[in-house]
Amino acid sequence: MNTAAARASPDARGVVAPFDDLLGRAVSMRALALLRVLAGPVVLVHLRPFLADALDGRIYRDAFYEPYAAWYPEVPRGIYVGLLLLAAAAAVAMSLGLLTRLATTTAFVIVAYNQFLSTTHFHNNRAYLIIVLGLLVVAPCGRELSVDAWVRRRRGRPALDPSAPAWPLWLLRFECAAIYGASGLSKLVDPDWFGGTVTWQRVVRSREQFDAWPLPDWAWSVLTDRGFHTGAAKMIVLTELFIALGLWWPRTRYAAVWVALVFHIAIEMSASVQVFSYLGIAVLVVWAVPSTRDRVLRIDPTARGHRQWAGVVRTLDWLARFRVEPAPPGSQIEVVDRDGTMIRGAPALGLALSRLPLTAWFALPAPLLPAVRRARRAGRDGAFVRAHSPISER
């Protein structure tokens, strides 16, 4: 215990200790490792316009720009272009997990430096990217899904512990929720937004853009109807606030993630938001429970179909949710969930697919289907009986 903690009153320690425990508890960094892999392409897309200009011989200060502060250092042209190229190389290395911490730090420092060169560089998606990169720098997220880990294995050295204190994960969760919350709140308190004026005018004034869509006349009539936007704007605001709050509670988390995906895809289709949609979707992985291999997929290794499913799960299980184990010949496919619930057959496959990042959106509603709910209920009862039977107690 440090001196300050020793001096704190028992009441203060009672509040601070659980907070410290939450931040310091070792959890799996798998989600952040996956986010690191996904963030590399985002950095490249973000850098593309700067690099394209640089290759055409233009940089930011050849035209209007506005420094935040006179003391902010500006480097010579050649070095600036070199930094952009270095950031692109670092982004690739970061995704691959090659010298992970150095690569991530390099990408973060250069992207942030470039952002703060001019107020004109600022966009919300770039701010979010800086936050994500900054938190990836402080999280040891290169110990898996990385060339570094592969090299370590090849050299016969023991793998590094893929778990670490949880505080970067919690901070990233906070930032993720704060972004939806801040956006939703700003619209909620603006009568023009909440009343539908803003969305209605945007649609009406963007008619040329929408003309490219194969929309039937009736759909266009609905979209340009003022009354429609009175309700639609409220839906948008409530959706953002639901995502911001719903992500925090396990009972609403899956729904919030599902809605967030739809929300980002809708934004991407209707507005130019640069890397925001991709980044927003990628960051959702941090809401996965930070533990790995705590579900079991049991397959009959003699059945070709089972082996194929096991292959699918192994390939797409980027968050390392499942252990794949053999079951006796003739068994049905079986999933044992984290709480011991055991389900078999098609419902088991539905549950497995709902826990894989690439198929989650399609399969997340599966656990709501009556057949799957029945199977889970039966599986839970079975798990309860097993847990309390004399055999299991032995």
- Residues near other proteins (CB under 8 A) are 16, 19-20, 23-24, 63-66, 119-120, 122, 124, 127-128, 131, 165, 167, 170-171, 174-175, 178-179, 182-183, 185-187, 190, 192-193, 197-202, 205, 271
Query: Which residues, 6 or more positions from 254, have their beta carbon under 8 angstroms from its beta carbon?
Result: 354, 364, 367
Which of residues 270 and 332 has its CB atom nearest to other proteins in the complex? Answer: 270
List of E strands, 42-129: none
Q: In 10 A of CB 203, how many CB atoms?
A: 19
Which contiguous run of DSSP H or E holds residue 209? helix 207-211
CB of 349 to other proteins, least distance (A): 37
CB of 205 to other proteins, least distance (A): 7
Rounded CA-CA distance 241/356 in Å is 25
Which of residues 95 and 239 has its CB atom nearest to other proteins in the complex? Answer: 239
Which of residues 114 and 199 has its CB atom nearest to other proteins in the complex? Answer: 199
CB of 210 to other proteins, least distance (A): 14
- Length in residues, the chain: 394
> Please, are residues 341 and 374 in contact by the beta-carbon 8 Å criterion?
no
Rounded CA-CA distance 394/141 in Å is 39
Rounded CA-CA distance 266/249 in Å is 24
Which of residues 64 and 218 has its CB atom nearest to other proteins in the complex? Answer: 64
Let me know the angle formed at the C-alpha of 157 by 153 and 162, rounded to the nearest 5 degrees: 70
Which of residues 185 and 378 has its CB atom nearest to other proteins in the complex? Answer: 185
> DSSP 3-state assignment of 342?
strand
Token pair for 291: 């533990």
CB of 271 to other proteins, least distance (A): 7
Which of residues 173 and 376 has its CB atom nearest to other proteins in the complex? Answer: 173
CB of 105 to other proteins, least distance (A): 16
CB of 121 to other proteins, least distance (A): 8
> Please, are residues 57 and 81 in contact by the beta-carbon 8 Å criterion?
no
Which of residues 140 and 357 has its CB atom nearest to other proteins in the complex? Answer: 140
Which contiguous run of DSSP H or E holds residue 324? strand 322-326
Rounded CA-CA distance 144/139 in Å is 12
How would you classify residue 202: left for phi > 0, otherwise alpha for psi between -120 and 50, otherwise beta? Answer: alpha
Which of residues 175 and 294 has its CB atom nearest to other proteins in the complex? Answer: 175
Token pair for 218: 């009736």
> DSSP 3-state assignment of 143?
coil
Which of residues 72 and 122 has its CB atom nearest to other proteins in the complex? Answer: 122
CB of 123 to other proteins, least distance (A): 8
CB of 18 to other proteins, least distance (A): 12
CB of 63 to other proteins, least distance (A): 5
Burial of 253 per CB tally in 10 Å (0-12, 13-18, 19+): middle
